[in-house]
Structure 1
């Protein structure tokens, strides 16, 4: 039994170290399996628990804990794997009972030093365990600033998008507001900014997929919904007004679906790498027509009708729609317009618009209009 336990312990230590290195030290678009499995298991548990509660705000508040708890659970699993692995090694190399061997391994792993044996041939295992514990915790702590730096870069631009594309963001709304206030020419700057952000998201979220679980501070914001909104706006711009659409619209589309494909490869989402522009898309022509109507009614100048623009728009959207919908589903993003289904019953939430604000003191909220107290602004 002892030699077999020693082999099992050695294998467990090596597998744990490999998981740590793959997750924290060697990010190459191949995320650690342990962390992603814990995240998926936690997400399923939360979805089942929250199914009786229809409100999206409650669901968002609960899901905001998922990514931090996944990081904590991963650290516990790593330390637990090392504890059991080193305990089995000590059990195999000594005449100690299993409980005493695990106790000595824990004493060394957590550098407590309260349990030790005066046996030179066990010192190597004790020293390795003593070095492993602080190293794993230090690596996990150094991992957090990388995650939060990428999170902050992402959320700054998502927050700035609210004024342009609504909350939650929607591609036609972005064009509508630009047409309404006469800033269509400035959309080129927005496309240029989101081209760089898409590249950043593709690199960071492919290497650290747990970032998909870090939700925006406000429930109706989402990085994937914002990215889809900008890409849809660019595709609409090219389809409706090809002669005036800036070249940056093509660049942001290319950067966007390239980033989504990088994330898809890292998270094992199946997709067609070379779709035909004539392939069908999930978005219906009726939904497309409503979006075009919103943009044109608000003042966006269109050179083509909705029927004429539809095949051009679909030819762009076929490159990113399936991946975008799957990421929205997996991350339980706010169910905005044109973002696909979710794993829980929902209705699509349109963006809050300037005309929803009443000059009489009433403000339109999702639950209905309410009146501010006298004197409040």
Structure 2
């Protein structure tokens, strides 16, 4: 009876970890692996605890930056450790090997060291399976990393390019203000078209590889979520203030943005209203809205509606994504920025929230 129980436990562990590896590294779609989530949360908690003790955005970013890469490494080690345990239980179930001998037998095969060898045919079969498992898991992980970092680089390229257009950290009204300042408002269509495609790519990559959500930018003032929020806010402002301007690309960028956020929310089990009413309340206040409008007016952005007239239209668009952005920004401790909601702890950032170009006095 003991051998049967050991065999069942070993088979459950091996099959469970096998499906975790398959779902994480092989299947190109969102699959929920409880094992992977538990490992990643366990790695994340002590770093988040330390980050919550600081009030500096730069220090917080440095503390959280290694979490995602470390979680990948710990996940690989955990997979191998549980495969070792599972195969050792199977070895003990089909033989009279003790715990130590079973672990030695399984480890010798799993890591292809070959220093231990059983004489029974049943042991040889398990040894062959273990010997195949080790290289396969490591090989899949090696192939997984280039795809992961390629998606990260594609994401960060656009986030970095946006810095000169949206400030640091990015802000929706700053995009329209800077385009108006350099008289490039006609090029906004190209910006929104590019970010529609970027949002689609982000949705695909960050649901297939959820760990990418935790990967941080190379600078504390950059963040993929805040960049997306700034573009969506700029699109909502464009639609609210300029109803006579072309709308197709602006609407598509907004739609792609909040569909992307909803896909990510689904992957993380975050609840949201699938059909919010345009009159639903916002956390963004009207006074904060007027501060953004003032920045746009300062740089000569043309407005066909007054702020009072534009506010209901802007609110009707923002209600589709504000709650999701605020929740995700809280979860990943994104860099604080205007119109991006609260964080876990109040923080201080060195760069201005609303950058103003300093021109030489003539």
TM bucket, shorter chain: over 0.9
Corresponding residue for residue 200 of structure 1? 201
Distance in 2 separating the partners of 1:341 and 1:132: 45
Distance in 1 separating the partners of 2:163 and 2:354: 10
The RMSD of aligned alpha carbons is 1.6
Corresponding residue for residue 28 of structure 1? 29
Deviation at 1:358, TM superposition (A): 7.3
Corresponding residue for residue 78 of structure 1? 79
Corresponding residue for residue 291 of structure 2? 290
Deviation at 1:227, TM superposition (A): 0.5
Deviations 1:165-214 (A, max 9, x none): 01110000001111111111111100000000000001111111100111
Corresponding residue for residue 364 of structure 1? none
TM-score where L is the length of structure 1: 0.92
Deviations 1:245-299 (A, max 9, x none): 5421111001111111111111111111111111112111111111111111111
Deviation at 1:240, TM superposition (A): 1.1
Deviations 1:138-183 (A, max 9, x none): 0011111111111111111111100100111000000111111111
Q: State which of 343, 348, 355 in structure 2 corresponds to 1:353.
A: 355
Q: Does residue 1:264 correspond to 2:270, yes or no?
A: no
Corresponding residue for residue 213 of structure 2? 212
Aligned length, in residue pairs? 359
Deviation at 1:319, TM superposition (A): 0.8
Is the CA contact 1:191–1:249 (under 8 Å) kept in the aligned structure 2? yes
Corresponding residue for residue 19 of structure 1? 20
Uncovered stretches (5+) of structure 2, i.e. residues with no partner: none
Is the CA contact 2:258–2:320 (under 8 Å) kept in the aligned structure 1? yes
Is the CA contact 1:31–1:208 (under 8 Å) kept in the aligned structure 2? no
Is the CA contact 2:40–2:75 (under 8 Å) kept in the aligned structure 1? no
Corresponding residue for residue 146 of structure 1? 147
Is the CA contact 1:108–1:127 (under 8 Å) kept in the aligned structure 2? yes
Deviation at 1:94, TM superposition (A): 0.3
Uncovered stretches (5+) of structure 1, i.e. residues with no partner: 361-377
Deviations 1:322-355 (A, max 9, x none): 1111111222111111111112222587446252
TM-score where L is the length of structure 2: 0.95
Corresponding residue for residue 108 of structure 1? 109
Deviation at 1:41, TM superposition (A): 2.9
Deviation at 1:129, TM superposition (A): 0.3
Q: Does residue 1:9 correspond to 2:10, yes or no?
A: yes
Is the CA contact 1:280–1:318 (under 8 Å) kept in the aligned structure 2? yes
Distance in 1 separating the partners of 2:331 and 2:257: 18
Deviation at 1:31, TM superposition (A): 4.0
Distance in 2 separating the partners of 1:35 and 1:172: 39
Corresponding residue for residue 135 of structure 1? 136
Distance in 2 separating the partners of 1:101 and 1:341: 53
